């Protein structure tokens, strides 16, 4: 199987020996523009105060960084979903043959932000849902657009919202986001957690991910919180 070149492992290794990974280290392009889309007409109905959802949309640095700035999000952890526990390491996942996608597990308070609102940010700001097995400079099934559904309610809301957006031609191409059955989430290595916050001058972050956070603030000011919810804050 053809695999994506490990730009990040090559170039980031020149800057620090402690951080190596599979997201591309440099892009000659820029971040894709956010797309303004309507909120979902169908949303979750729950009375609980804490839920979790799994989002995959390319390199987990940017997806995590976006959701860490959303009000109502309690935690956002970078990791792997779609494969088995014994292959949930970045060196294996970067080969593109494990079934895993780089993903982010978001824990949130539905009283403050619903699953539908998180989906709106996911489709609009966090990534491009019309790109098949790639995001920006990164290519391979490990960078696919996918929702790992934890219950029937999430599936109901996600299916309805994708149908709504496609019917309205909200994007210039059909949405290719896969709706996949949740079979486990495996947190990524420590060096991948809070990467956007810890490395704001790293070229990949500057070019591809900081614009996403800026677009979140611009398009969804009522959803945006300036201080990110960090994984390592409690350590």
Residue 23 annotated to the active site = no
Question: CA-CA-CA-CA torsion for 66, 4, 170, 222, nearest 10 degrees?
Answer: 0
- Please, what is the end-to-end C-alpha distance for the chain in angstroms? 39
> What is the residue whose two structure tokens read 């860490």?
68
- Which residues, listed in sequence order, are joined to residue 122 by a DSSP beta bridge? none
Q: Which of 12, 24, 59, 149 is catalytic?
A: 59
Q: What is the DSSP letter of 35?
A: -
SS3 content of the chain, % helix, strand, coil (to 5): 35, 20, 45
- Tell me the residue length of the chain: 235
Active-site residues, by number, are 59
């Amino acid at each position: 199987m053809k695999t994506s070149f490990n730009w990040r492992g090559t170039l980031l290794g020149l800057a620090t020996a402690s951080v190596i990974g599979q997201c591309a280290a440099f892009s000659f392009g820029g971040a894709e523009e956010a797309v303004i889309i309507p909120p979902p007409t169908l949303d979750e109905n729950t009375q609980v105060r804490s839920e979790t959802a799994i989002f995959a949309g390319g390199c987990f640095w940017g997806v995590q960084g976006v959701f860490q700035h959303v009000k109502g999000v309690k935690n956002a952890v970078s990791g792997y979903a779609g494969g088995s526990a014994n292959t949930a390491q970045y060196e294996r996942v970067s080969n593109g043959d494990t079934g895993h996608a780089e993903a982010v597990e978001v824990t949130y308070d539905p009283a403050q932000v619903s699953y539908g609102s998180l989906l709106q940010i996911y489709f609009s700001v966090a990534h491009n849902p019309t790109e098949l097995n790639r995001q920006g400079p990164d290519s391979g099934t490990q960078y696919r657009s996918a929702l790992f559904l934890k219950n029937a309610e999430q599936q109901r809301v996600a299916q309805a919202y994708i149908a709504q957006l496609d019917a309205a031609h909200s994007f210039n191409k059909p949405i290719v986001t896969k709706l996949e059955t949740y079979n486990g989430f495996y947190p990524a290595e420590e060096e991948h957690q809070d990467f956007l916050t810890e490395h704001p001058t790293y070229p990949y972050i500057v070019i591809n991910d900081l614009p996403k956070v800026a677009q979140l603030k611009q398009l969804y000011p009522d959803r945006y919180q300036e201080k990110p919810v960090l994984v390592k804050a409690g350590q």
